[in-house]
Amino acid sequence: MAEKIRPTVFVSYSHKDKKHLDSVLPFLEGLELNERIELWHDRLIGVGEDWYRQLEGEMHDAKVAILLVTQNFLASRFCKFEEIPVLLQRQREGRLAVLPVLLEPCLWEEEPWLKRLQMIPTDGPVPQRGVRRKQILTDLARKVVEVADKGVAPPEKALENWPPEAYNLRRLPQTGSLLFGRRNELALVDRAWNEGGTNLVVFTAGGGVGKSTLCRVWCEMLAEDDWRGAHRAFAWSFHSQGAGRQGSADTFVNAAFRWFGEDPTGLSPWDRGDRLAELVRGERMLLVLDGIEPLQSSSVADRGELRDPALKTLLENLAQENPGLCLVTTREPLTDLEQVTEPEVIHHDLDQVSLLAGRALLRVAGVKGSDKELESGVRELGRHALAVNLLATYIADTGGRHIGTLADLTPPDPSHGRDAHPRRVIEAWARRLGDSAELEVLNQLGLFDRPATGPELEALRQSPPTPGLNRHLQSADYPQTLARLRAVRLLAPPNLHEPETLDSHPLIREHLGESLHDTRPDSWKTGHNVLYEHLTSTSEYQPDGLEELSPLYAALTHGCAAGREREALNLVYFQRISRENESFVTHKLGAFAADLAGLASFFEVRWHKPLPTLPEDDQSWVLGQTGFNLRALGRLAAAPQPMLAALANEVRQENWLRAAAAAGNLAELETGRGELSSALDYATQGVEHADRSRLPEQQVMKRARLADVLFQLGRVEEAEALFREAERILTGGKPSPHKLYSLWGYLFCELLLEVGKVEEAETRALYALELVGRFDTPLLDQAVAHLSMGRLHLVQRDYPESKPFLRRAVELLRLAGQSDYLPRGLVANAEFHLGTADFERSHKVLDDSLTLCLRAGLRLFEADTWLGLGRLNLRTGELRQAGESLGRARAIIEQTGYGRRREELAELEAQLAD
């Protein structure tokens, strides 16, 4: 179609309102006669012409759209589903001015899209006759001339134009915002925001159904309404982490804290979630979390559960209390919040597009066929929005443009589940593109589990010619290639803030990445190798922040896919990310989830079977580090699997030193979980392996570990003897001032206090404090030294002396970031507050401890906490609550064999009986 010199004014109306059209046209036809505009309405279509194609072309070229709003117009399916979406989309893109004219009373306020526009006139319908009617329509014509002369003003209230320090929604995917058939869902979110009472809305559906577009359109509506009381807004999309990838919320959490002006360093993952919830609830705020499925479990046993403790804690808090609103989209049901009912949390499964909306999608793209044929095609594609969208552009790209092209598609593959239909169309597009520069761009994106940056893409384009990857791209017109892919929606719209970055729908990336791997494995490997080389050579050697570390974590994925897993592990992960023995990411940044996500690259079967191409030593190390991260994240049920595999590897290799360490770690883990029988077995193995290693340090630590397990079982005399045997090995059997230190010294102190050997415990506690004062010791060592001294003063009922040690112990335990030690300090602090009759604070600290224990599955500490609550309830005269608390403690003690607490439980139950 030849480019038009004069701007087109498109008139949309119901055919039942011809009288209204006839009354409005005279005010515009004079402008056309003066060659100021070109006026178009469907009466101008000639007999026998391809009416829909002409209509589509005029809508595409129009600079102004006039809507003749009546009840007939609002009831017109053609206007509502085939004209309006196209016009609104062009308006959002800043290419069209939409001018609605209210010509008679009707329920136009019921249409969310129409409420967002400036109605003409603003005070009611245009009068049927008289001077005022002529004045209003004359003003309409002046507005048309103004747009024709000055062009369409860009959207003033676009999401990107608001100050990011208050409204940062730039992470939302650039979906294009063309939304069909989601009226009810938009109304649902409107009610949740306007009426209050709803804290969180979760939209669940498969990929490509339009969840992200729905959120973006509603956010655009909110922005256009000056945010309707939202003081702040923040959005994050986890889609950049790919479908099914082991995800981490650490980058999101850190970015959110920075946006609020705070630093999360030193906080455990749970504390980060708690604090972030406090910040979100500080004022009425909109929080949008798009595509959280990479952070949910995909296993049958716990499918849908959040694996990231920070995000889980954040959402659990917001579900209970939130003056604003949190919007969440995901492919998996969010099972963590299923116990919270409406209206606090609304779970809404997005249906696939309706037949009417799907038909409109096809019509808008210019697909030919009767209504019945189009609806049949939508039905055959499972009413899947992404499949219908891609089919629409696929058909429009052909000369025939008829829905019959559906026959080109292969049958759906049942193994792909609900993604089968869009994959059919993606595969058809791949065949259509053939061996071309366009397919090479998409294949390159298939190498990524995130948007691809300009430098990364440039590295791929400039690497030696590789079939399916860059052979055609090196001589192609690159901007033109991208333009074509965007025109057919295989490539996302440009990112306004990172124009060189490219992305496509995660399903398109995933499907074409798998196809490249299967059909051109050498090209797949070459592409990942180029990206590995690029990222490792252009990144800072040892970055200090988590975001700066992201390229190195990405390099791990590419290095493993390129067959360079040993190099990626040793030169990138161990030397540059972890900084060798420094464990920088976990010990300094506390980013256990991000570290776990990075380690996922080295597994063939997640958390159980590392890549077989890694040497056994490296496999064992990966398994051990993975178990450590899982434990630190409170995922105690998942942690034993990699730790057991690591132990088996070390025993098979007769590496007794590392086998002793692995067995000791398992014993510690199982002790916290309350699996004391297993803990005893692993602790015994640890001693055996340590003796085989003949390394005194391991012999000391593993005997102390076994002693602690015996202590928890109530076998106190055996435990004390073993602690003393460990100390004899430490001192070489000779008199020496040296004593057990670090965690082992603390555990021995606990035993001594319990059996009444207070003076010896005091000597050891002072020794521990002296050590941490003289040397640069780990945070955990400092924490337990203070805790030993605080517990000593508690036993002596010297509360003023106890207070600073206990407070400092909790501070240091939080900074250490290992949640399985923190309840020790909390329960001791609660005992202090009880001793000083501060019952309210004692209850709060015990509640915090209980929450942590339940989250992390720390059964023994949970029993300690229930005992503390029972003691508090008895002191405050709440006998019913005391009975319940002691009953819960008894159940755990009996189930786990926690013999250490049986005597204490009996004493408290006797007090209750009295």
What is the Cα–Cα distance from 191 to 492, expressed in whole angstroms? 31
Residue 203 bridge partners (DSSP) = 329, 348
Residue 326 bridge partners (DSSP) = 200, 287
Q: In the structure encoding, which two tokens stand for residue 798, read together? A: 């010297």
Asked if 296 contacts 336 with a C-beta cutoff of 8 angstroms, the reply is no
What is the Cα–Cα distance from 208 to 425, expressed in whole angstroms? 12
Asked if 538 contacts 521 with a C-beta cutoff of 8 angstroms, the reply is no
Q: Which residue shows structure tokens 């959207």? A: 155
User: What pLDDT, on the 0 to 100 scale, is given for residue 243?
Assistant: 36
What is the Cα–Cα distance from 847 to 849, expressed in whole angstroms? 5
Asked if 653 contacts 616 with a C-beta cutoff of 8 angstroms, the reply is yes
Residue 328 bridge partners (DSSP) = 202, 289
What is the Cα–Cα distance from 756 to 392, expressed in whole angstroms? 80
User: What pLDDT, on the 0 to 100 scale, is given for residue 80?
Assistant: 79
Q: Which residues contact 904 (CB under 8 A, 6 or more apart)?
A: 867
What is the Cα–Cα distance from 131 to 789, expressed in whole angstroms? 91
The phi and psi torsions of 202 (rounded to 5 degrees) equal -115, 120
Q: Estimate to the nearest angstrom the gap between the alpha carbon of 745 and the chain centroid.
A: 41
What is the Cα–Cα distance from 744 to 741, expressed in whole angstroms? 6
Q: In the structure encoding, which two tokens stand for residue 282, read together? A: 């500080």
What is the Cα–Cα distance from 818 to 629, expressed in whole angstroms? 10
Collapsing DSSP to helix, strand or coil, 204 comes out as strand
Would you tell me how many other CB atoms lie within 10 Å of the CB of residue 136? 17
Asked if 152 contacts 94 with a C-beta cutoff of 8 angstroms, the reply is yes
Q: 600: closest CA among 560, 571, 633, 628?
A: 560
Q: Which residues contact 46 (CB under 8 A, 6 or more apart)?
A: none
Q: Which residues contact 422 (CB under 8 A, 6 or more apart)?
A: 207, 208, 384, 386, 387, 390, 507
- Could you give the C-alpha distances from 525 to 557, 559, 777, in angstroms and in order? 12, 9, 45
Pairing label, strands 97-102, 62-69: parallel
pTM, to two decimals: 0.73
Pairing label, strands 609-610, 603-605: antiparallel
What is the Cα–Cα distance from 603 to 248, expressed in whole angstroms? 16
Asked if 505 contacts 492 with a C-beta cutoff of 8 angstroms, the reply is yes
What is the Cα–Cα distance from 706 to 722, expressed in whole angstroms? 8
Question: Mean pLDDT, 10 residues at a time, over the chain (914 residues)?
Answer: 70 91 91 86 64 71 92 87 78 84 91 81 90 93 88 70 87 63 82 92 77 85 88 86 54 92 81 91 94 75 75 91 94 81 86 76 77 88 85 78 76 87 92 95 92 93 95 94 90 79 87 95 97 96 87 94 96 92 77 84 89 92 89 81 91 92 93 94 97 94 96 96 94 81 92 94 92 80 93 94 93 75 92 95 93 87 96 95 96 96 95 89
Q: 218: closest CA among 206, 196, 239, 203?
A: 203
Would you tell me how many other CB atoms lie within 10 Å of the CB of residue 541? 8
Collapsing DSSP to helix, strand or coil, 132 comes out as helix
Q: In the structure encoding, which two tokens stand for residue 232, read together? A: 């702040």
What is the Cα–Cα distance from 671 to 706, expressed in whole angstroms? 10
Q: Which residues contact 484 (CB under 8 A, 6 or more apart)?
A: 438
User: What pLDDT, on the 0 to 100 scale, is given for residue 369?
Assistant: 82
Q: 855: closest CA among 264, 318, 310?
A: 310
Q: In the structure encoding, which two tokens stand for residue 708, read together? A: 């602690």
User: What pLDDT, on the 0 to 100 scale, is given for residue 1?
Assistant: 42
User: What pLDDT, on the 0 to 100 scale, is given for residue 114?
Assistant: 83
Q: Which residues contact 830 (CB under 8 A, 6 or more apart)?
A: 842, 843, 845, 846, 849, 868, 872
Which H/E stretch holds residue 102? strand 97-102
In 227-374 the beta strands, taken as DSSP E runs, fall at: 232-237, 285-290, 325-330, 345-349
Residue type, 84: I
Q: How many helices (H) and strands (E) does the chain have?
A: 40, 12
- Helix, strand, coil shares of the chain, percent, nearest 5, are 65, 5, 30
Which H/E stretch holds residue 321? none
What angle in degrees, to the nearest 10, is found between the helix axes of 879-896 and 859-875?
160
Would you tell me how many other CB atoms lie within 10 Å of the CB of residue 354? 16
Collapsing DSSP to helix, strand or coil, 557 comes out as helix
What is the Cα–Cα distance from 393 to 371, expressed in whole angstroms? 18
Collapsing DSSP to helix, strand or coil, 262 comes out as coil
